[in-house]
């Protein structure tokens, strides 16, 4: 119960803060309206992900202790092995089917599928894994940084190869 209340407060704070963060990240006064258009999003490789997975920073700076929004594009059949993040995260499925499993061992039977528009709340330090089982998906992650990513088995960490 305590954890649910904590997540509700986290989500409310993120919504309030995130209305200011996009414009502050671009040096615009919070009193001005701004938007991030999908055609302006720049996809890049991210050292902590498998080579084919792409990340785009949408709002904020994930390296700072402040709200951020990133998108992750995972191509068909790509897997992200068990890992955790220190920060609480809110995932929104933008396109495709988002498969996520909870646990510190990769287990395809533990995967749950989420359709576009789904929102998944993941507490910080929760071991989990992903598989683009039915094709490419794009998810959006909202959190308060700094972003962290720790693979349960260091042998699965692309940064160590």
For 132, the domain range is 2-160
Q: How many whole angstroms separate alpha carbon 26 and alpha carbon 9?
A: 26
Q: Give the count of domains, the chain.
A: 1
Query: Tens digit of pLDDT for each residue in 32-82?
Result: 788 999 999 999 999 999 999 999 999 999 999 999 999 999 999 999 999
Task: With a cut of 80, say whether residue 26 has pLDDT above it.
Answer: no
CATH number of the domain where residue 113 is located: 2.60.120.10
- Kindly report the backbone phi and psi dihedral angles of residue 148, in degrees, each rounded to the nearest multiple of 5, phi listed first: -135, 150
Look at residue 32 in the predicted model and tell me its pLDDT: 76
CA angle centred on 35, ends 34 and 39, rounded to 5°: 145
Look at residue 31 in the predicted model and tell me its pLDDT: 64
**What is the reported pTM?**
0.81
């Amino acid at each position: 119960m305590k954890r649910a209340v904590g997540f509700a407060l986290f989500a409310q704070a993120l919504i309030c803060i995130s209305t200011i963060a996009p414009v502050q990240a671009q040096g615009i006064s919070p009193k001005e309206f701004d938007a991030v258009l999908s055609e302006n999003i720049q996809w890049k490789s991210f050292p902590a992900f498998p080579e084919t997975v792409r990340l785009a920073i949408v709002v904020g700076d994930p390296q700072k202790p402040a709200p951020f929004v990133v998108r992750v594009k995972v191509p068909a059949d790509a897997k992200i092995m068990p890992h955790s993040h220190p920060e609480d995260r809110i995932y929104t499925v933008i396109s495709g089917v988002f498969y996520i499993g909870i646990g510190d061992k990769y287990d395809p039977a533990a995967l749950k599928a989420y359709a576009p528009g789904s929102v998944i709340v993941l507490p910080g330090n929760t071991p989990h894994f992903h598989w683009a089982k039915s094709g490419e998906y794009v998810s959006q992650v909202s959190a308060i940084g700094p972003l962290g990513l720790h693979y349960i088995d260091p042998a699965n960490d692309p940064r160590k190869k």
